[in-house]
Amino acid sequence: MLKLSRRPLYEVAPWLTSITPELILNKDGSLLATYEFQGVDADSPDRGSIEASRNQLDSACKSFDNRITAWWKLTHRRAHGYVGGEFAQETDARLDALNKAHVTSGKYFQNAHSLAVAYTPASGLAKFFDKVGHHMTVGGRSVYGSIFEATKDTVFARSAFAFDMEKLSADARRFEAMLDAFTGGVPRLKMRRLVMQDSYAQLHQAANPSVPPRRIRYPVTLLDTHLTESEVTVGAERLLFESAHGKRFAGIVAVKEWLGFQEAALDSLMQIDAELDVCIMFRFLDTASSAAYIEKVRRFYKMAALNVRAILKQYFGKEEAENDEGREELAKEAGVALKRLTADGTQHGFANISIIVYGDTEADCEDSISEVVGALTNAGFGAIREKANLMPAWNSTLPGRWDKQRRLQFVETPAVSDIAPVCSVMPGPTRNNWLSEKAGKEVPPLTCLPTRHKTAQRVDLHQPGGNGHLLVIGPIGAGKSVFLNFLVSQAGRHGARRIRFDKDRSTRIPTLLSGGAFVDVTGKFQAATHANPLSLLGDPTNFTYVTEWVTLALEDERFSLTPQQTQDVFEAVKILSTYESERWTLSNLSTQLHDELRERLQIWLQGGQYGHFFDHAEDAFAVSDNLSIEMGDLFEKYPRAAALFVDYAFYRISQSMDGLRYTIIEVEEAGFFFQHPRFYKRLETWITTIRKLNGAIWMATQSLRQVERIPDFEILKDNIGNLIYLPNSQANTSKDLYKDKFGLTNDQIQMINDAVPNRDYLWITQSQTRMLQSTFSDEMVAMLRSDGVAQSILDRHHASGAADWQKNYVREMLARTA
């Protein structure tokens, strides 16, 4: 670096002291207010809301005049935070460690938006007449006497303090009125006024790029020294910030020209793999000042368009003179701008856009600057690398400092609103409020995943009221099973009980690796686990449920029990309960029923079509804390039997829930619920019951058409707090289905259509839309996969009896992919 010049930052910091908890007095006499805001979600379901927020910003800015300067800043920093929590199972902990290593690797970022507004009181002749007014109103003097006193104040600084204090109070009231009008006009931006220490922390971070963010104590000195703890060395092309925390290099790229209104053109900078600040400084002008400037420009280009040499040539040579057409066109544009200002009241001002690019080394800084310049060029901007203007350019990014910046462009306020980065990606909550209240201690969110915006997203599936239900919808082969297995594994940090209704052993591998049990009620992969709902008859409190279950078995779409028949079933259940437990079977129950009902129950009895499912003397089904239940054949071939078993299992699970410990019930394929209205109604009931017991049902389905046939699906959808849509390249051809049944917008459907299978997952709740991304390593996939090869290798290691068979399985799987 050449032309080195080191100076402490307190020399350039503009802040003096706080005059109210919300206002700071700057060294030049201006007042400063600071804000942070959320902005509009970048994955907003309706892109029109982004345009509406920019229109609101245009209108709200009309509250400002030439006394106002605004600093709009977007900080782009690497995300190193994650979610806490401990895992009881080693495999779950290993999966989380691998995910944490990826998310906190520095590849992903966190963006923060801030706004600072400065009010600069009148100066010069205007300030002199303010003093005259002060003496007239406070001193009660005549006009001439007040002019005389104001002259003495100006020449001799006489009674200046009393005037300045009164003037400061009046300016503060005037400024607050402007701010109230502005913030009231931009509700979509969700602005929050910063007070005292929060405001100090924002300014401290702006002035000290090499210092990690921290909370700032209350000042005991002036703010310029209190909020700075660094030195800056000014080189030919870079700045070097040094503090006790280390060094940091920075370069500044300024925007030279704007090609018209370019909405969200600066958003592309958020995709760059570098830490940077996008700083927009805007000095507002009133109508008179804007008109004077535009007229000055118009006259300049009109005069410059005249070609004196051509005029002389015309005079002496009798030839036709030609003026400069380019400058004539610029003069016409200035005239049009003047007309628009007069007719529409379009607001104008002077703007500067500077991008501060940071790097830990000079080489890193230079590489990042090259990326920024390329992104700006592709967006249609002209880019300038600051050199001679380097330090003034950085000074003007500090809220309250605008005096040294000369690289200003005269623009309309709507032009600034259009390129202002109003979109954000909120990182998500740091705690799970619902589970924290239940546990009486801090409980973290479920997990942390990347987004399509290269940010890290904390994922909390518990919506207000404890609604943690989840429905995953999308075609086969889009990554459903692996993603669901990952989410269920992550629930280990909540100490959750995890019960999975599996299909084709999709959940078997992560269940066994995490110390769980696998049972097969179909007998396809291992000896069938017998289930007998009548085994519950030992407790009279179960009589009502057993009656409901038998009713489900008896009824179908064409037949429903009458109230008398329902009572008959209940009486039969009570009679059977008086027998020995070995006789609590469906066959024995049928002997207590009338002929019609006995005949309808025949298919569920031994020798009947479905007699092998439930007509057993014993019940081998046991609910444990980590369980996978294979039901694939039932889902595909016997949906009625599947629904009956799941209903029975749900009841058994609910009986084991105490309302305190969190329980997750995963249904790998829920399509069978949607085939029969009666079972669908039972699902609606369980959705409510399980939630009240501090549980969540996580379901998946591949068939959107099955959902289409459900007449009141909207009721169920409203009771499910989270929906995740898998990538579907045919989504645009099924817009009616996505719109009518799921209530999606065209923008959300387009996201589903453009998403990449096995990577993108569109997560939608009532309050947000977010495109999550998963990038699972080979080791993570080995623990989450379900294909036949992996099952065979797992069987061999599981049967080996080795103490570390799980690690041996993973090592072999990794060796196969090497």
- Lowest model confidence (mean pLDDT) among 57-61, 408-412, 589-593, 690-694: 408-412
Token pair recorded at residue 112: 């923060």
- pLDDT at position 663 over 80: yes
Q: What is the pLDDT of residue 162?
A: 42
Strands 409-412 and 497-502: unpaired
Query: How far is residue 655 from each of residues 151, 546, 579, 618, 649, measured CA to CA in Å?
Result: 88, 13, 24, 19, 10
Q: What is the pLDDT of residue 2?
A: 46
Under 8 Å CB-to-CB from 169, ≥6 apart: which residues? none
Place of tokens 């805001």: 37
Query: How many domains does the chain fold into?
Result: 3
Count CB atoms within 10 A of the CB of residue 366. 15
Please name the amino acid found at residue 97. A
Place of tokens 């209940």: 570
Q: What is the pLDDT of residue 709?
A: 75
Place of tokens 């910046």: 405
- pLDDT at position 129 over 60: no
Name which of 290, 547, 249, 585 is nearest 411 in CA terms. Answer: 290
Using pLDDT thresholds of 50, 70 and 90, give the confidence band for residue 557.
Answer: confident
Q: What is the pLDDT of residue 263?
A: 67
The overall average pLDDT reported for the chain is 87
Last residue of one domain, picked from the residues 564, 580, 604: 604
Q: Report the b/e string of 227-242 with b at 16+ CB within 10 A.
A: bbbbbbbbbebbbbbe
Q: What is the pLDDT of residue 411?
A: 82
**Is 28 part of a structural domain of the chain?**
yes
For 133, the 3-state DSSP assignment is helix
- pLDDT at position 96 over 90: yes
Q: What is the pLDDT of residue 261?
A: 54
Using pLDDT thresholds of 50, 70 and 90, give the confidence band for residue 556.
Answer: confident
**Is 813 part of a structural domain of the chain?**
no
- Lowest model confidence (mean pLDDT) among 177-191, 314-328, 662-676, 742-756: 314-328
Average pLDDT over residues 75-90: 94
Cα of 318 vs its chain's centroid, Å:
71
**636 and 583, same domain (yes or no):** no
Name which of 686, 693, 659 is nearest 670 in CA terms. Answer: 686
Q: What is the pLDDT of residue 587?
A: 94
Residue 157 contacts residue 164 (beta carbons within 8 Å): no
**635 and 493, same domain (yes or no):** yes
Q: What is the pLDDT of residue 161?
A: 40
pLDDT digits (tens, 9 = 90+) for 341-377: 555 557 788 889 999 999 999 999 999 999 999 999 8
Cα of 211 vs its chain's centroid, Å:
26
Using pLDDT thresholds of 50, 70 and 90, give the confidence band for residue 591.
Answer: very high
pLDDT digits (tens, 9 = 90+) for 283-320: 998 777 766 666 665 555 455 555 555 544 554 555 55
Q: What is the pLDDT of residue 493?
A: 96
Look at the alpha carbons of 607, 610, 615, 619 in this order and tell me if their dihedral is positive or negative: positive
User: Rounded CA gap, 157 and 150, in Å?
Assistant: 9
The secondary element (H helix, E strand) that includes residue 34 is strand 31-37
- Lowest model confidence (mean pLDDT) among 216-230, 287-301, 309-323, 627-641: 309-323
**186 and 52, same domain (yes or no):** yes
**Is 803 part of a structural domain of the chain?**
no
Count CB atoms within 10 A of the CB of residue 139. 12
Using pLDDT thresholds of 50, 70 and 90, give the confidence band for residue 247.
Answer: very high
Average pLDDT over residues 586-612: 92
- Lowest model confidence (mean pLDDT) among 136-150, 310-324, 465-479, 694-708: 310-324
Q: What is the pLDDT of residue 157?
A: 42
Using pLDDT thresholds of 50, 70 and 90, give the confidence band for residue 504.
Answer: very high
Place of tokens 């500044």: 252
Using pLDDT thresholds of 50, 70 and 90, give the confidence band for residue 152.
Answer: low
Average pLDDT over residues 186-206: 94
Q: What is the pLDDT of residue 468?
A: 96
Read off the CATH number of the domain in which 676 is found.
3.40.50.300
Residue 486 contacts residue 784 (beta carbons within 8 Å): yes
Using pLDDT thresholds of 50, 70 and 90, give the confidence band for residue 158.
Answer: very low
**Is 345 part of a structural domain of the chain?**
no
Q: What is the pLDDT of residue 163?
A: 46
**145 and 233, same domain (yes or no):** yes
Count of residues making up the chain = 818
Please name the amino acid found at residue 72. W
Q: What is the pLDDT of residue 228?
A: 93
Q: Which residue has the higher pLDDT, 475 or 152?
A: 475
Calculate what percentage of the chain has a pLDDT beyond 90. Answer: 62
User: Rounded CA gap, 206 and 66, in Å?
Assistant: 25
- pLDDT at position 47 over 90: no
pLDDT digits (tens, 9 = 90+) for 766-811: 999 999 999 899 999 999 999 999 999 999 999 998 999 999 999 9
Phi, psi (degrees; rounded to nearest 5) at 540: -60, -25
Q: Which residue has the higher pLDDT, 134 or 428?
A: 428
Under 8 Å CB-to-CB from 750, ≥6 apart: which residues? 731, 732
Q: What is the pLDDT of residue 317?
A: 55
* Upper half-sphere CA count for residue 530 (Cβ side, 13 Å): 13
User: Rounded CA gap, 25 and 15, in Å?
Assistant: 6
User: Rounded CA gap, 249 and 263, in Å?
Assistant: 30
Q: What is the pLDDT of residue 222?
A: 92
**Is 335 part of a structural domain of the chain?**
no
Place of tokens 């006789």: 583
**663 and 590, same domain (yes or no):** no
User: Rounded CA gap, 40 and 55, in Å?
Assistant: 13
**216 and 269, same domain (yes or no):** yes
- pLDDT at position 138 over 70: no
- pLDDT at position 159 over 50: no
Token pair recorded at residue 630: 């294979």
**364 and 485, same domain (yes or no):** no
Q: What is the DSSP letter of 605?
A: S
**Is 441 part of a structural domain of the chain?**
no
- pLDDT at position 156 over 50: no
Angle, helices 543-554 vs 639-656, to 10°: value is 170
For 518, the 3-state DSSP assignment is strand
Under 8 Å CB-to-CB from 659, ≥6 apart: which residues? 692, 693, 694
Place of tokens 């205007």: 126
Residue 754 contacts residue 746 (beta carbons within 8 Å): no
**365 and 514, same domain (yes or no):** no
- pLDDT at position 225 over 90: yes
**Is 188 part of a structural domain of the chain?**
yes
- pLDDT at position 406 over 90: no
Q: What is the pLDDT of residue 295?
A: 62
**Is 304 part of a structural domain of the chain?**
no
Angle, helices 125-137 vs 160-184, to 10°: value is 110
Q: What is the pLDDT of residue 135?
A: 58
Q: Which residue has the higher pLDDT, 422 or 139?
A: 422
User: Rounded CA gap, 20 and 312, in Å?
Assistant: 66
- pLDDT at position 145 over 70: no
Phi, psi (degrees; rounded to nearest 5) at 359: -155, 145
- pLDDT at position 653 over 90: yes
Cα of 262 vs its chain's centroid, Å:
24
**96 and 208, same domain (yes or no):** yes
β-pair partners for 808:
none
User: Rounded CA gap, 396 and 409, in Å?
Assistant: 14
- Lowest model confidence (mean pLDDT) among 178-187, 190-199, 315-324, 663-672: 315-324
**527 and 551, same domain (yes or no):** no
User: Rounded CA gap, 140 and 146, in Å?
Assistant: 9
- pLDDT at position 750 over 80: yes
**510 and 585, same domain (yes or no):** no
Query: How far is residue 809 from each of residues 131, 247, 628, measured CA to CA in Å?
Result: 85, 46, 19
Q: Which residue has the higher pLDDT, 612 or 165?
A: 612
**520 and 645, same domain (yes or no):** yes
Q: Going along 259-321, which residue ranges are E strands?
A: 276-285
For 176, the 3-state DSSP assignment is helix
Under 8 Å CB-to-CB from 114, ≥6 apart: which residues? 34, 35, 36, 37, 72, 73, 75, 202
- pLDDT at position 30 over 50: yes
Q: Express the helix, strand and coil content of the chain in percent, nearest 5 each.
A: 45, 20, 35
**Structural domain of residue 765, as residue ranges?**
467-531+620-786
